[in-house]
Structure 1
Amino acid sequence: MKRTSSVKSKTKESKIKYSEVPESSIAISSSIATASYKENSITMTAYYNSKDQLVEIAFTSCPFEINRRIIQAINICLPFHKFLHRLRIKRSLTQTVLYEISKLLPHSNITDVCLDDNFLPQGNYYLLLDNLNNVQNLSLRRCDINDEACKSIANKMNFGCPASNTLITLNLASNCITDIGATHLGMMLRQNRTLLYLNVSDNKITDSGAINILNNFRVFPLTKDEIIARNYRKVQFFKKRNELYRKYVNEITNRLREEEEKENINSFRMLLKGERIQKRKTTMVMKYQLEEGPRTYPIIKCFEELSVAEQAEKMTTEIIGEFKDMYDDNNIIREDGQIYAIGNLRLSYLNLAYNNLGYFSVRKIYDVLKYQSNINKPVHCSGLLKIILEGNNIPDDCEELRGIQYFLESAITENIPLEVTRCKSSLKSRKKLNNKNMQII
């Protein structure tokens, strides 16, 4: 369902006219609200799902720039529209509006942001990734993004930044990115292990920039700075883990001491020593409060089966988990005293179409896919599954292109769930049996 409202930027009053049309653009409902265009009005389109819940707000046909107060008004209404997950603005974005959107995102459920066809001279689109939010899909097509703006965006997606844990797709198609910007994107892919989709088609990238991106999808040596940063993160993790462990040891010990004081210690020991009397299992219910929030979590443990140290270790592991890093022990290889990373095996879609690539990029892609096909991939990592190269100055047919096609098809086949393949095979066998039965009849 799509509803369009006319919002006056200078006055508080707004007039809306409603009419019905056959279908909406998202094929959810057939009702639409339209508004007559005026010189001093901004058209806002609201999309609703089948349950009449607001899911998208779009500004796509505004005659002039949006006023920041409109975004502030949307911000006020956010608590009443929990299913709003998409924001789309086209050709009417300003610097102040971008800033208001960056303030709106952290306390909203918006996961998709589309700002196509918006040019900002400052190029500070990175504001959208500055704070922790729920944005998973970001589209910045035809925004005249140069290498400096591309660098700012890539830096906000490095390991440890908020966007490195949330952003899944990034669309930078039809911009002004050269090999310099491609190099910054490659350095980001060296660290980022969340991004699945990257589109840099229709830019000004040559073989040099493409190779700087592709080098990070296969094994590469870690620099001294990367090794130092990795060791620092590891030390900080175990420092925090030990602090939490000691905290739980003290809590358990104090709790045990309090319980022992309440009971008759002598009679309790006699029961334990007596062979004729069945052993009594004492179970204690402990409640502890997490540092992150006010909730309390009951822990029920049998103190005859686990020691205090074992219980504290288990509680610590449940809270903080194991050390996970882009360069942890599962993602590195040690050879001849040098530490190598196995490369980015998380990104699965890469669009390099309509750039200035040649045969060297094709050769590099072939080497990357060959490497990824022979390595044991970590959990939830599939490697590259789709690469688009059309519109480049590459051979129409060569051995490397055929090899790329073979490796991509094999990778897709390996990542199809086993249940799906069994269903397909059973359907084929049923069709064969039906055909045989038809022939017999």
Structure 2
Amino acid sequence: MRKRVEKSSKEKVDKVDSVIEEDNVNVTSKTADDYQCSGNLELDFTELCKLMGVKKIPSVKLKQSKPVMEHNQSQKSLESQRTTWSSEPCLEIELENEDQSKTVKISGWKVDDMMLQVLSRTLPSLSNFQCLHMWRVGLTDCTFASLRNTVSLCSNLRKVVLDGNPLPEQSYHLLIGEDSMLTDLSLRNSHIGEEGARLIGSSLSTVPTANKNLLSLNLAFNSIGDAGANHIAQGLRLNRSLLCLSLSHNQIGDEGATRLAEVLGPFALTHEEIVERRKLLIQVEQSVIQPSLVSLADSQDQPLSVRSSSSLDRLNKIAKNTTKKKDNPKKEEKPAPAQVAKKEEPKVVKKDDKVPRSQAGKIGAKDKNLPVSEQETVEVVETVIPLLDPGIVHTGGKVIHPGNTCLTSLNLSGNKLTEQSLKLFLSSLEGQGEGGLLRLSLNRNRFPSDCDIFLKIQEMMALRDPLNKNNTGQVEDEHGELKTTSAA
């Protein structure tokens, strides 16, 4: 009897040991490829670091976003925000809701290839991930390529900050290609030179292509110089999305500033641009391009540049008729045929609801409250083909474009500008009329602060700047950031 009891207890122990061994085998056999991200960054990041064998796993710090904070604690929260940056490996996560990560900040520690593999798995799984800050994380050309792929997988990511990350190949332009959905990009203090500026300028626009989503680009504290500024100006010729551009502290002199000033005012089209313009006019004539892709608002106020062109005349008539149909749908006696209606209906709204709010002008934040018919009209006005701008004229054997009037803020402080380039800026600003720049920063350059031309430009900007009401305005600090000050 005693032997039977000992035998049964021994069998139970053996079964328990076998179960434990099987569980250990299952745990050790689980890899990062088998892990399914839950959308909780704190949980997924830590678990993937363990599975991939990261020796020192960075800590994760959570904080609520500003709208969630109590009003009486807002000042304390801002102070804590400045002190949360640490040289120790750490992920700072800003939550919009209880479990939705809106912003991820990494600061001051090297992000190697293994860590980027972890981020490439966790970040795309976040449903409301909108902003990525990576300041001085030691990016290389190889890790940047991996980061770029991760950025492209994050469907809601709109802002990327890569300050203090110099790359030997200067391939930052890959983040703002034609298909990029980013609206804000900051590349301060990244040793960007002429070649990097050339690549960025080409990404902003060339004759056949242009970036359509980037609204803000910060290139402060680099080494772009005159040659690089020329490339950036070239990219601004046919770009109609960029609103804010900072080139402060970039060793830019009068030569580079002159190119930037010229593109803001009327400029002559090159031979390549004229050829492309003719191709577009033929496409309009053949109805390959929808008339709605040309600014309807401008076509009512300004005559088309080529009076003899039947395509442009027809385009102007269609533009007016389309606008009347939208404004007075009940007054139409005979409805248009179904095929024509489909042809004139703008597909921009259905295709992409995230069209930048200012591709062809300054559309205010009230657009969301407009009726459906007015929202459609706004979408049509926003979509513009620069080479079909109705303000283009023929004079002196040249085709003159009215210039880039979509850029609203330009920062050239801390460079090498003299009074020579100031004259060109003043001339371009006067030629812009009511549109164009609302803010131009020219402080800390090589001209006296009491220079007549500079004072005249400041006076003109003060009248234009909507942020300058009630004797208040915005100036840029030594880091290129905007801060509000009171006028003396």
TM-score higher than 0.5:
yes
Q: Confirm or deny: 8 A CA contact 2:265 2:431 kept in the other structure.
A: yes
Which residue identity is paired with 1:103? N
The aligned residue for residue 102 of structure 1 is 148
The aligned residue for residue 411 of structure 2 is 351
- Listed as ranges, the matches of 1:66-105 within 5 Å are 66-78=111-123, 80-91=125-136, 92-105=138-151
Equivalent of residue 327 in structure 1, options 387, 394, 406: 387
Tell me, in whole angstroms, the C-alpha distance in 1 between the residues paired with 2:268 and 2:389. 14
The aligned residue for residue 423 of structure 1 is none
Bigger strand fraction = 1
Matched, 1:317 2:364: no
Tell me, in whole angstroms, the C-alpha distance in 1 between the residues paired with 2:212 and 2:462. 29
Query: Which range is displaced more, 215-224 or 158-167?
Result: 158-167
Relative to structure 1, is the Cα distance of residues 389 and 312 closer, same or farther in structure 2, using a 3 angstrom cutoff? same
Q: Confirm or deny: 8 A CA contact 1:3 1:47 kept in the other structure.
A: no
Matched, 1:232 2:279: yes
Which residue identity is paired with 1:95? D
Q: Confirm or deny: 8 A CA contact 1:17 1:35 kept in the other structure.
A: no
Query: Which range is displaced more, 93-102 or 42-51?
Result: 42-51
The aligned residue for residue 53 of structure 2 is 11
The aligned residue for residue 360 of structure 1 is 420
The aligned residue for residue 120 of structure 1 is 167
Identity of aligned residues (%): 27
TM-score normalised over the length of structure 1: 0.67
The aligned residue for residue 218 of structure 1 is 265
Matched, 1:46 2:73: no
1:220-249: CA deviation from partner (whole Å, max 9, x where unpaired) = 1112211101122343455563899xxxxx
Query: Which range is displaced more, 127-136 or 171-180?
Result: 127-136
**DSSP 3-state at the match of 1:165:** coil
Tell me the number of residue pairs that the alignment of Structure 1 and Structure 2 aligns: 339
Q: Confirm or deny: 8 A CA contact 2:163 2:188 kept in the other structure.
A: yes
Which residue identity is paired with 1:67? D
1:180-236: CA deviation from partner (whole Å, max 9, x where unpaired) = 001111111111111111111111111111011110111111122111011223434
CA shift for structure 1 position 98: 1.2
Which residue identity is paired with 2:450? D
The aligned residue for residue 164 of structure 1 is 211
Tell me, in whole angstroms, the C-alpha distance in 2 between the residues paired with 1:148 and 1:166. 23
Relative to structure 1, is the Cα distance of residues 160 and 135 closer, same or farther in structure 2, using a 3 angstrom cutoff? farther
Relative to structure 1, is the Cα distance of residues 74 and 335 closer, same or farther in structure 2, using a 3 angstrom cutoff? same
The aligned residue for residue 396 of structure 1 is 449
CA shift for structure 1 position 95: 1.6
Q: Confirm or deny: 8 A CA contact 1:172 1:200 kept in the other structure.
A: yes
The aligned residue for residue 293 of structure 1 is none
CA shift for structure 1 position 12: 5.1
Which residue identity is paired with 1:354? G
1:4-36: CA deviation from partner (whole Å, max 9, x where unpaired) = 98757961577677899xx8796855799x999
Tell me, in whole angstroms, the C-alpha distance in 1 between the residues paired with 2:411 and 2:290. 46
CA shift for structure 1 position 3: 7.4
Q: Confirm or deny: 8 A CA contact 1:129 1:162 kept in the other structure.
A: no
Relative to structure 1, is the Cα distance of residues 179 and 3 closer, same or farther in structure 2, using a 3 angstrom cutoff? same
The aligned residue for residue 375 of structure 2 is none
Which residue identity is paired with 2:122? C
The aligned residue for residue 401 of structure 2 is 341
Relative to structure 1, is the Cα distance of residues 37 and 98 closer, same or farther in structure 2, using a 3 angstrom cutoff? closer
**DSSP 3-state at the match of 1:198:** strand
CA RMSD of aligned residues (A): 3.7
CA shift for structure 1 position 77: 3.2
CA shift for structure 1 position 81: 1.6
Tell me, in whole angstroms, the C-alpha distance in 2 between the residues paired with 1:237 and 1:73. 49
1:120-149: CA deviation from partner (whole Å, max 9, x where unpaired) = 111111121236232111111110011011
Relative to structure 1, is the Cα distance of residues 354 and 324 closer, same or farther in structure 2, using a 3 angstrom cutoff? closer
Which residue identity is paired with 2:442? L
**DSSP 3-state at the match of 1:164:** coil
Relative to structure 1, is the Cα distance of residues 18 and 393 closer, same or farther in structure 2, using a 3 angstrom cutoff? closer
Tell me, in whole angstroms, the C-alpha distance in 2 between the residues paired with 1:229 and 1:161. 8
The aligned residue for residue 241 of structure 2 is 194
CA shift for structure 1 position 330: 1.8
CA shift for structure 1 position 343: 0.6
Relative to structure 1, is the Cα distance of residues 59 and 160 closer, same or farther in structure 2, using a 3 angstrom cutoff? farther
The aligned residue for residue 330 of structure 2 is none
The aligned residue for residue 15 of structure 2 is none
Tell me, in whole angstroms, the C-alpha distance in 1 between the residues paired with 2:468 and 2:272. 35
- Listed as ranges, the matches of 1:159-308 within 5 Å are 159=206, 164-236=211-283, 239=286, 241=288, 305-306=334-335
Query: Which range is displaced more, 218-227 or 336-345?
Result: 336-345
CA shift for structure 1 position 179: 0.6
**DSSP 3-state at the match of 2:387:** coil
Query: Which range is displaced more, 68-77 or 395-404?
Result: 68-77
Bigger helix fraction = 2
Query: Which range is displaced more, 6-15 or 337-346?
Result: 6-15
TM-score normalised over the length of structure 2: 0.61
Tell me, in whole angstroms, the C-alpha distance in 2 between the residues paired with 1:16 and 1:169. 31
